[in-house]
Amino acid sequence: MRNFDAPFLVIWELTQACDLACVHCRACAIEKRCPSELTTEEGFRLLDEIRSFGDPLMVFTGGDPLKRPDMLPLLQRSVGLGLRNTVTSSATPLLTERAIEGFRECGVARMAISLDGPDAASHDGFRRVDGSFARTMFALEYARKIGLPSQVNTTVTRHNLGRLDEPAQLVQCFGAKLWSVFFLVATGRASASEDLTAGEYEEVFRFLYDLSKTIPFDLKTTEAQHYRRYVAQRRKADGNGDAVRQAMPEVIRRQAGINDGKGFVFVSHLGEIYPSGFLPLAAGNVRRDSLTAVNRESPLFRTLRDADRL
Ligand code: SF4
């Protein structure tokens, strides 16, 4: 049985400030930074402790991380510690050529950016700021030009249902390494009315599974635990039943059924320790608690890892 005492993935929400206003925003992002955000020094200490987990994948997210003037020193510290880092930026005027070059120069492994529709009308309508689609296209093109690997994040809602093949084509056009497909969790500004029906989930899973066999980039789902069940059923139906378990990580790009609090830990802009950004229940705060101890011992995290209680 796999040991989840150390997470595979650590996400730090550097700030909730962001100049976009997305319909579904988990963070309920606002324009200005909160004065109580973790300071630069607290961020350095947090990164040191994250490194003590071993070799987790580190994601710098927000809000928009570029709203913090100390973002590059924080990224440099993380790279210097030997962590593998992804930075998730918002497509705003802050995401300039210089900013993207800064990611590459300080050794970020990957820049992630959101794309929720294949054109300005669909994407900007969802992000609620005109020009966001054009900035996304610019950022992906510029990252490709300077050799910075990119990742595209897409949230599946009723808004883009039936059009997912179009963002997938853009992922391929820009040479992105990973298409990360998020399924809606009705937290923050997200409304359950935007979510899919059970039948629509199955349709999207069918599309993703079929697509995964043909694409040159990796495809990963988030908050779609039932995709594992779908993949198992399809492989069995395809006559590959014996290979289902062994091949699962290869198909879904997840090492071991990572779930909230199970291989995954999220630190909020105020230092609260959540099982994930989509489950904002604080099991501690890095200002007073050890992140490694909370992840290993807190009743909330331990309960979430107890499959018998599902
Ligand atoms: S880009 Fe991200 S943080 Fe900014 S409003 Fe949209 S979902 Fe929220």
Q: What is the pLDDT of residues 136-156, one digit of tens each?
A: 999 999 999 999 999 999 999
* Per-residue three-class SS string for the chain: CCCCCCCCEEEEECCCECCCCCCCCCCCCECCCCCCCCCHHHHHHHHHHHHCCCCCEEEEECCCHHHCCCHHHHHHHHHHCCCEEEEECCCCCCCCHHHHHHHHHCCCCEEEEECCCCCHHHHHHHHCCCCHHHHHHHHHHHHHHHCCCEEEEEEECCCCCCCCHHHHHHHHHCCCCEEEEEECCCCCCCCHHHCCCHHHHHHHHHHHHHHHCCCCCEEEEECCCHHHHHHHHHHHHCCCHHHHHHHHHHHHCCCCCCECCECEEEECCCCEEECECCECCCCCECCCCCHHHHHHHCHHHHHHCCHHHC
Count of structural domains within the chain = 1
Whole-number pLDDT of residue 307: 83
Q: What is the pTM of this model?
A: 0.93
Q: What is the mean pLDDT of the chain?
A: 93
Cβ neighbour number for residue 208 with a 10 Å cutoff = 24
- Of the candidates 222, 217, 242, 221, which has an alpha carbon nearest to the alpha carbon of residue 232? 242
pLDDT by residue (tens digit) across 108-133?
999 999 999 999 999 999 889 999 99
Determine, yes or no, domain membership for 84.
yes
Cα–Cα nearest to 53, from 295, 253, 304: 295
pLDDT in tens, 163-220: 999 999 999 999 999 999 999 999 999 999 999 999 999 999 999 999 999 999 999 9
> What range defines the domain where residue 305 resides?
9-309
Q: Are strands 264-267 and 273-274 parallel, antiparallel or unpaired?
A: antiparallel
In a domain, 4, yes or no: no
What CATH number does the domain containing 171 carry? 3.20.20.70
The single residue listed with the structure tokens 């289902």 is 244
Query: Ligand 1 center to residue 23 CA distance, Å?
Result: 9
Residue 1: band (very low, low, confident or very high) from pLDDT cuts 50, 70, 90: very low
Nearest ligand 1 atom to the CA of 20 is 5
In a domain, 3, yes or no: no
What CA–CA distance (Å, rounded) separates 4 from 1? Answer: 9
Contact 127, 21 (CB under 8 A): yes
> Residue 97 C-alpha to ligand 1 middle, in angstroms?
20
Q: How far apart, in whole angstroms, are the C-alpha atoms of residue 264 and residue 59?
A: 11
Q: Assess if residue 136 is contained within a domain.
A: yes
Mean per-residue pLDDT, 95-100:
98
Among 11, 12, 18, 31, the mutation site with the greatest number of ligand 1 atoms within 8 A of its Cβ is 18
Å from CA of 182 to ligand 1 middle: 14
CA atoms within 13 Å, Cβ hemisphere of 260: 18
Whether 1 maps to a domain, the answer reads no
Probe residue for ligand 1, chosen from 12, 13, 19, 20 as the CB with the greatest number of ligand atoms within 8 Å = 20
What pLDDT score does 254 carry? 53
């608690």: which residue's tokens? 289
Ligand 1 atom nearest to 189, measured from its CA: 8
Query: What mean pLDDT is predicted for residues 246-257?
Result: 56
Q: Specify the pLDDT at position 240.
A: 73
Ligand 1 binding pocket, CB closer than 6 Å: 18, 20-22, 25, 27, 29, 62-64, 90
Distance 224 CA to ligand 1 centre (A): 20
Whether residue 34 lies inside any domain: the answer is yes
What is the C-alpha to C-alpha distance for residues 50 and 54, in angstroms, rounded to an integer? 8
